[in-house]
Chains A and B, each alone.
Chain A
């Protein structure tokens, strides 16, 4: 009987262990607190913006004097708001931090991952494309594939950058101090800094980001509005701005967003996804020129590859995409290709733990934030590590995403100009551990996006240059390990990304920032 009782205890103990086994807290955004900026960039208002002519293009009136009764009333409102703030409102203050551009970048990445779903076939074997004039679908608009994603990020970051240049211009023009410096009863929620409060840089970001992302993700309008309201509310509660700081910031944000979106409306993206006859003629031209053409092997076959005319989209810093077109790939009967077929077969037959890890780590495929999103994430981590202020951060994201978008355009130009087959097109019975995308092979998008991104990060964070360039090379070869790219797609693509990034670097080196 004693034995029996012991066994019962053991069983009860096991049950208990099961129920109480530890639960982990999995992070859904990067955890960082407000930090002291490594510099304030007091002359940032004179930097050269991308879309607007200068920081003073938009007119922002002089604010009320900090000794005026109007300002005193604003201060009183800040105090009142802080006094009645709820627990969750104060948590929001902590979440947004004093460099909220990282949060808006995270929101963008999350929407990309949410919408990065390739439309499946209809019951009759046809495919329906997402339609911006009927965003509900099905399929929902957009399909946030890598070209769509990098473009959304570029417009977001460029608009943020220009808007913050304008904000900086007026901050240092009017030099209005922050409420917590004027009134010692107000406690600043973030680390102290000497950046003037008018207009609020955070409010600039809330509006510009909300408006760009609402255009890129029309079904998320209400969600983005709610996030922006939550953000704007947190600005006041942080004690660093009064309401007129916030209103002036919103005005700048909306102005620049409109400017960015008007460029986006006519940049050629609308016609990037072509009808079948156009796609067929692009393919026929490649066949005529080179004697080969890539084919979609899905079941049922997709009639058109992904955005055949993305290569014609307006670039940011390259005048003519053909200037960045790489050399032709090896001929279809060349020794070089034969050798590479053996390399691919060998990787497929010997999937090592390390190669598999690399293939998966950099895959950034359907349902994720795409390669461009991955590099934005790296940028965010460095921005925090190097304690950048919001303007510096915006500059980093802007050049990063312009270079990657230009890289993507250049890559797509090569993809559809050369129309080179994928490994599964040329190797009978070939199997892959990564999903083969719906566009030609040469050059590898991951390689171009990554090396273009790495060059910008190497320029902005010289201490990290070796690391980020190594990452870019690993991202490039990961596609070969995955079985979906040739070695030369990766190596030539890496060089192509470096070449394209140089155009953006020239602009960056001459924008007035040190």
Chain B
């Protein structure tokens, strides 16, 4: 079985922690931001959701670009297309940094810029939107780290907070930049990694979401609401992944699955626009790769592809993500 053991800084310094953190965390974050578009789906701030810790006094920055599109969505449970919006495109540029505060505690900060529009031709002639979305800050803590002769088991809780930084209109779906609400995500992850490189992680997070302000003071959500405040449903997020480090920890490949389940909310009504109050469900699969030129630090590249294969009040979004990472001591 495992024996709990405090890993010294030297232990981790060499390779795994930094690089992996950088890739996984930043990338996963950007994936979430980009891929789960804002059709209610946003999970923008779902982050520190990997099993790897930064080293103390190490930092990593990420710049990532994501290109996502969808031409079908689920109206309630009904998968459909809609030529009013045709194919909706969502581009995101994400800047993010992760900093190792202690060897067991990491701090994150991220800010995405989002741009949306419909392909031509479309029947709606709606203007897209663009601007800064939500700033995210988070902490991740290594609660358990137990090693055996073949691998390491770890448990990592994390908490993140995100909130809009611009006055974007969340009630402008499917083009809105985000849900326009504060989100507090508390996550628990369990990871098991074989020394040979194979690893798996499962995680669950509760995403508490607050309220968003519309610019109208009446809306219908299975009944009248005489207010400009909209309740954005809180949600569960589940994740499972399997991956492996290859080529002396320079390359990592991963397959992942993630799900969102809103705890309340209404369905998109027939041939009507979505709104932030919708009950969103989504299941997504993806593949992810990262490459480090030098495992000791410096530049790395990350790439991923994701697609939503099942949903409710959600876009059938497919996204491609490319990013560069840079890690350094401070």
User: Which residues of A are at the interface with B, using a C-beta cutoff of 8 A?
Assistant: 3-4, 7-8, 11, 14-15, 17-19, 21, 24, 26-30, 106, 109-110, 113-114, 117-121, 138-139, 297-300, 348, 351, 353, 356-357, 360-361, 363-364, 366-369, 373-374, 377, 424, 430-433, 435-436, 483
Contacts and interface: CB of A to CB of B under 8 A. Distances in A.
A4 B143 CA distance: 8
Contact of A109 (B83, B86, B224): B224
Contact of B169 (A8, A356, A368, A432): A356
Contact of B216 (A11, A14, A368): A368
B210 A21 contact: yes
Interface of B: 82-84, 86, 102, 104-105, 121-128, 139, 141, 143, 157, 159, 167, 169, 171-172, 184, 186, 206, 208, 210-211, 214-220, 223-227, 229, 231, 269-273
A299 B122 contact: yes
Contact of A297 (B125, B143, B169, B272): B125
Contact of B224 (A28, A360, A424, A433): A28
A110 B223 contact: yes
A430 B229 contact: no
Nearest to A23: B231
Contact of A14 (B82, B159, B224): B159
B224 A430 contact: no
Contact of A110 (B128, B224, B229): B224
A198 to B, nearest CB: 33
A309 to B, nearest CB: 24
Given A297-B123, A357-B215, A11 B82 contact: no
B229 A24 contact: yes
Contacts of B218: 113, 364, 368-369, 373-374, 377
A75 to B, nearest CB: 37
B217 to A, nearest CB: 7
Nearest to A30: B226
B104 A21 contact: no
Given A14-B186, A368-B218, A299 B269 contact: no
A432 B272 contact: no
A140 to B, nearest CB: 8
Contacts of B122: 299
A367 B123 contact: no
Contact of A430 (B104, B125, B157, B270): B125
Given A14-B159, A367-B219, A436-B124, 16 more contacts: A14-B184, A18-B206, A24-B229, A26-B229, A28-B223, A106-B224, A117-B269, A120-B271, A298-B84, A299-B84, A356-B215, A360-B216, A361-B216, A377-B218, A431-B125, A433-B127
A52 B122 CA distance: 51
A432 B127 contact: yes
Contact of A298 (B123, B208, B224): B123
Contact of A436 (B82, B125, B211, B225): B125
Contacts of B104: 4, 7
Contact of A118 (B126, B224, B227, B271): B271
B28 to A, nearest CB: 20
Contact of A8 (B128, B143, B186, B214): B143
A367 B125 contact: no
A29 B270 contact: no
A430 B122 CA distance: 12
30 contacts: A4-B104, A7-B105, A7-B141, A8-B143, A11-B139, A11-B186, A14-B184, A15-B159, A18-B186, A21-B210, A26-B225, A27-B226, A30-B226, A110-B220, A117-B272, A120-B271, A297-B123, A297-B125, A298-B84, A357-B215, A360-B214, A360-B216, A361-B216, A367-B219, A367-B272, A368-B219, A424-B125, A431-B125, A432-B126, A432-B127
B211 A24 contact: yes
Contacts of A353: 167
B272 to A, nearest CB: 5
Contacts of B159: 11, 14-15
Contacts of A483: 127
Contact of A18 (B86, B143, B169, B184): B184
Contact of A21 (B124, B184, B220): B184
Given A348-B127, A431-B126, A367 B269 contact: yes
A11 B157 contact: yes
Nearest to A138: B270
Contacts of B128: 431
The winner among A7, A8, A27, A118 for most chain B CB atoms within 10 A is: A7
Contacts of B219: 367-368
A298 B217 CA distance: 28
A118 B83 CA distance: 14
Nearest to A16: B186
B223 A299 contact: no
Contacts of B210: 21
Nearest to B167: A353
B156 to A, nearest CB: 11
